[in-house]
Chain A
Amino acid sequence: KNEVEQSPQNLTAQEGEFITINCSYSVGISALHWLQQHPGGGIVSLFMLSSGKKKHGRLIATINIQEKHSSLHITASHPRDSAVYICAVPREDTGNQFYFGTGTSLTVIP
């Protein structure tokens, strides 16, 4: 059983569509991370959140600690949003180690 589950695994959208990627986790956490992996392979951190909602441009991340669920939304999607989005939660009592989801591969078609 994976500690972090993401859905969907793959997602194709038309440019301009509203996109939602989901992440469920089974461990107690202090914060959850959303990462973006570009087609070339490099990874950047998008959000770190421990409650409520955060917004950065067209990206919105929400978390419900009680339900152990987080969502990443992309409004007005664009082809440059095409990437793999990864959810990660810290492992308890391990310093700075994480459980990583398998990622959601998003393709936005012009």
Chain B
Amino acid sequence: DGGITQSPKYLFRKEGQNVTLSCEQNLNHDAMYWYRQDPGQGLRLIYYSQIVNDFQKGDIAEGYSVSREKKESFPLTVTSAQKNPTAFYLCASSMRPGQGGIKNIQYFGAGTRLSVL
């Protein structure tokens, strides 16, 4: 079945450690996104990529890094510079903007819950 797979479901980070969250999609979508969700707040965009080997910072990119070496994969690394990483992280994908007229639907993964030890 087509969809977006995020792993792991739960992740724990030690002080000073970098951790990487995986996101894979088989929907043949060009665009992929990483969001952070905190209680009482709307989804906030961390990074997005509209095409392979290209990505842009979102609203809260500090302390995070991404890569887009393959169309199917968009991993997010939470670096030690991110001082408050505890949150729920969601990955999404969509057709590339401009394909399909009005704003395209984003398809979301099941999320990764990151906590600090």
Interface residues of A (CB under 8 A from B): 2, 4, 30-31, 33, 35, 40-45, 48, 50, 86, 88, 90, 95-103
Contacts and interface: CB of A to CB of B under 8 A. Distances in A.
A103 B39 CA distance: 10
Contacts, number: 64
Q: How large is the interface on B (under 10, 10 to 19, 20 to 34, 35 or more residues)?
A: 20 to 34
Contact of A42 (B40, B44, B108): B108
Nearest to B113: A41
A99 B45 CA distance: 9
B102 A31 contact: yes
Contact of A41 (B44, B58, B102, B111): B111
Interface in B33-87: 40-45, 48, 50, 58
Given A45-B106, A97-B58, 16 more contacts: A31-B102, A31-B103, A33-B103, A35-B108, A40-B110, A40-B111, A41-B111, A42-B108, A43-B111, A90-B103, A95-B31, A96-B96, A96-B97, A97-B48, A99-B42, A100-B43
A88 B90 CA distance: 15
Given A31-B102, A31-B103, A48-B105, A42 B42 contact: no
Contact of A44 (B31, B50, B108): B108
